[in-house]
Chain A
Amino acid sequence: MFKSFKPMLAAAALSLAVLSQGAVAAEEQFFPIPGYRVGPYGANGQSFYGGFIDYLTYVNLKDKGVNGVTLTYEECETEYNNAKGVECYERLKGKAAKSSGPVHTMSTGISYALIDKSAQDKLPLAMMGYGRTDAVDGSVFPYAFPLVTTYQMQASAIVKFIKEKLGGNLAGKKIVYLYHDSAYGKEAIIAMEAEAALNKFTLVQIPVAHPGNEQGAQWLKIRQEKPDFVVFWGWGVMNQTALKAAQKVGFPRDRMIGSWWTGSEEDVVPAGDAAKGYMAATWNVAGKEVPLIADIEKVVYGAGKGNLQDKSKIGTILYNRGVSAAVLSVEAIRKAQEKYGKGKAMTGEQVRWGLENLNITDARLKQIGATDLLPEIKTSCDNHEGSGKVKIQQWDGAKWVSVSGWIEGNKALIHPLFQASAKQYAKEKGITPRDCSKEK
């Protein structure tokens, strides 16, 4: 970071503002990044946005951009605060008028605030693994993309995994859903309830008040209930507390499965011994074994242009998540260039089309070097999610190890829930949904 890259970029941005865009010879694709590196979740943001930016740099260094179009970006600090996020978005919007990659806010609150605005401004909003999940229905939300998978599909996939573990039948079993009592924690309840009705298991919901650093009562209840599994939707300090509390009441950690915001190194390392055996869902794998991650370390950090100050974060779950987000964004631009002209900068509207027509097969992932980093993705107008698959990983005391293949949630059960919710939204807002059969 404290190398020459950033000030050069700042200077470039400045001279851009002064000399107007005419002075730039090569085509440039701009990424507005309203991210966060300070504030309560700053540590998470550092890894995620570090990975994101490193991949952009990597593409610039390795392939000279996307078909010759250099990738540029500007960051704005949101501190995970909604009002600041909106301010940042408005500030970056002007620069994104000519060309814009997808906007990643890594914050449900900020994405909610931007959903209407981004559609008005024709800028694609990516919400990978968070945000407004009913935006899966692209007929109502043309510019919002909850890519890869959503909370509800994740819950469904976890239930599927548990079902396999318990011998293919959940009838009469008991699952506790222990959740952070907030918008985030409550989002998956609807899916858990639907699964409970379908698979005839007993669902016990136990909320934990924010911040969740005291869970004695909850775990006492869990001990009384004697559930077969605990599905765990935690956040921040709540995660390590839960693991320690589980150890205290003697609940086996290998029967706890967390969501993807409970499954990073930051969550399990502080819990120490108590975290061993704990499982969590994820839509991207950790580790430097992925060829792409290793290559980024070699190419980008080898050239001294890495974004992370703390290099030990390379290969962590959140770093790899940032890389995955960037991979999808760049692939969307590539796709858009196929339609609107190779070697040209793409506007937000064109990138939107790219995001809606992504088709990233395993073969393509292998080409990029991202084999198994994330699942295959194929989006369309009526499916902005594209995959709905997660992997279950287990903490062995030192690192995350995958213990399953890609598991897809019950789409037939969950997607109608999204459509109903999107329909209600359209009605409230007076939006006429697009006809997806006419989209190409």
Chain B
Amino acid sequence: MLYREAGQFKTSYAADQQLFPIRQDRIGLIVLLAIAFLGVPLLASEYWFSAILIPFLIFALAALGLNILTGYAGQLSLGSAAFMAVGAYAAYNFQLRVEGIPILVSFICAGLTAAGVGILFGLPSLRIKGFYLAVATLAAQFFIVWCLTKFPWLSNNSSSGVISTQKLMLFGHELNTPVEKYLLVLSIVVFMALGAKNMVRSTTGRAWMAVRDMDVAASVIGIRLMPTKLLAFAVSSFYCGVAGALYAFCYLGSVEPDGFSLEMSFKILFMIIIGGVGSIMGSFLGAAFILLLPIFLDIALPFFAGLFGLPFSSATVSHIQILVFGALIMFFLIVEPHGLARLWQIAKEKLRLWPFPH
């Protein structure tokens, strides 16, 4: 009843081609953005900003990057964390070595650097596919982390390889409170997510999907495989690179190469598997699930234990949290192998008919 598109006529091409063709979706998005931009800064505490919202947005962006590559272009990659590392270290070095470079420009440059590295490691994708490609991208994961440790120039000769990011200056104003950082991250993520949403329904996005579904057929109908695949690697790495720069500058403030481990790459991969492969929204849902659920369990378990007087130590809580988390992943994958985004889609289908399903 609420979510019915009957009566929404499209009278122009522009109306037919817009990003969100259903009015309710548009309203929903505007409300969501209004809450995120206006409501949250008023209500949330510092803990929410620094420990939950900022990392959630950053990982959603990284997952989005991987989703473009894996979900849309069908190229399995295990190097997302490494591309984030490239972005983080590139942004740091641009800030350090280019006098007076605006922070946003250095984020873009960081993304471009990561894109360049991504293209380099995307080259094997022209010859190998699937799991074999995943193993090839593992090389990126190990090589980049090794490279950042090996060459002290990259970390400005820091004896330990750890970099400490510079101040965040935006238009002559220093961003130092969590709220300001959150708003910066949110703006960048919203902008890039809308860009991705737009991109995947363009010629490029359709070419990616054609390659994903069957690359021989795609090349038969005239899609050139090499540029398409490499572009997917470039765009994906760009997203991961920007996410990495934000991770360093807006979240942790200091990063080390070892922090961008294979484990982190896996985490990002799990985000898109749980969230939904080949879905922009899925990246956000997956990031929320993987990041927030453990924190929620961590806080909720001692509370319930306290209610029932159970003797929980923080170690026990951690063990139980891992158990529950693993069980929930399995549950969701069994119930809906296509991820949370698919669940949302089903809900939407049902809503269209509700309350008269016949």
Contact = CB atoms under 8 A, between A and B. Distances in A.
A116 B160 contact: no
A393 to B, nearest CB: 26
B127 to A, nearest CB: 29
A37 interface: yes
Interface in B205-239: none
Given A83-B55, A182-B258, A428-B164, A113 B252 contact: yes
The 3 closest A-B pairs by CB, nearest first: A183-B160, A37-B315, A90-B51
Nearest to A87: B51
B258 A429 contact: no
Contacts of A115: 164, 253-254
B130 interface: no
Contacts of A38: 315, 318-319, 322
Which of A7, A37, A421, A430 has the largest number of chain B CB atoms within 10 A? Answer: A7
Contacts of A11: 306, 309
B348 interface: no
Given A77-B298, A90-B46, A181-B149, A186 B159 contact: yes
Nearest to A82: B259
For the residues of A in contact with B, the DSSP-based class is helix
Interface string B273-312: 0000000000000000000000100110011011001111
Interface string A280-294: 000000000000000
A87 B303 CA distance: 18
A41 interface: no
Contacts of A342: none
Most buried by A among B149, B159, B161: B159
A400 B51 CA distance: 42
A6 interface: yes
B204 interface: no
Given A90-B51, A113-B253, A113-B254, A77 B315 contact: yes
Interface in B312-337: 312-315, 317-319, 322
Place the interface of chain A in its size category. Answer: 35 or more
Contacts of A187: 159-160
A425 interface: yes
A436 interface: no
Interface in B76-112: 96
Interface in B138-181: 149, 156, 159-162, 164, 166-167, 176
B307 to A, nearest CB: 9
A94 B255 CA distance: 24
A220 interface: no
Given A38-B322, A93-B47, A183-B161, 5 more contacts: A6-B313, A46-B315, A113-B254, A116-B164, A425-B164
Interface of A: 1-4, 6-7, 10-11, 14, 35, 37-38, 42, 46, 75-77, 79, 82-83, 86-87, 90-91, 93-94, 108-109, 112-113, 115-117, 120, 132, 181-184, 186-187, 189-190, 210, 421, 425, 428-430
A87 B47 CA distance: 8
Given A38-B318, A94-B47, A183-B258, A112 B309 contact: no
Contacts of B51: 86-87, 90-91
B159 A82 contact: no
A146 B170 CA distance: 33
Contacts of B255: 113
Nearest to B252: A113
Contacts of B96: 428
18 contacts: A7-B306, A10-B306, A11-B306, A11-B309, A76-B314, A82-B259, A83-B55, A86-B50, A86-B252, A87-B52, A90-B50, A94-B47, A109-B259, A113-B255, A117-B50, A183-B160, A183-B161, A186-B160
A114 B282 CA distance: 32
A116 B177 CA distance: 12
For chain B, give the interface size range: 35 or more
A391 to B, nearest CB: 25
Interface in B30-87: 45-47, 50-52, 55
A42 B313 CA distance: 14
A421 B164 CA distance: 12
Contacts of B256: 109, 112, 183
Contact of B317 (A77, A113, A183): A77
Given A112-B164, A429-B164, A429-B167, A90 B47 contact: yes
Contacts of A210: 258
A76 B156 CA distance: 33
Contacts of B310: 7
Given A6-B311, A7-B309, A7-B310, A77 B252 contact: no
Contacts of A186: 159-161
Nearest to A5: B311
B252 A10 contact: no
Contacts of A108: 160, 162
A340 B302 CA distance: 35
A205 B50 CA distance: 40
B315 A189 contact: no
A83 B252 contact: yes
Given A86-B51, A94-B47, A182 B252 contact: no
A411 B122 CA distance: 50
A108 B160 CA distance: 10
A187 B319 CA distance: 33
Nearest to B157: A424
B175 to A, nearest CB: 13
Contacts of A14: 303, 306
Contacts of B322: 38
Contacts of B295: 87
Contact of A2 (B52, B251, B254, B311): B311
Contacts of A35: 314
Nearest to B294: A84
B252 A1 contact: no
A430 to B, nearest CB: 6
A189 B157 CA distance: 12
B305 A10 contact: yes
A421 B156 CA distance: 11
A189 B318 contact: no
B301 to A, nearest CB: 11
Contacts of B156: 428
Contacts of B259: 82, 109
B268 to A, nearest CB: 13
Contacts of A6: 311-313
A79 B295 CA distance: 13
B253 A10 contact: no
A425 B162 CA distance: 12
B314 A75 contact: yes
Contacts of A93: 46-47
Interface string B5-31: 000000000000000000000000000
B155 to A, nearest CB: 9
Given A6-B311, A93-B47, A183-B258, A116 B253 contact: yes
A430 B176 CA distance: 13
B243 to A, nearest CB: 13
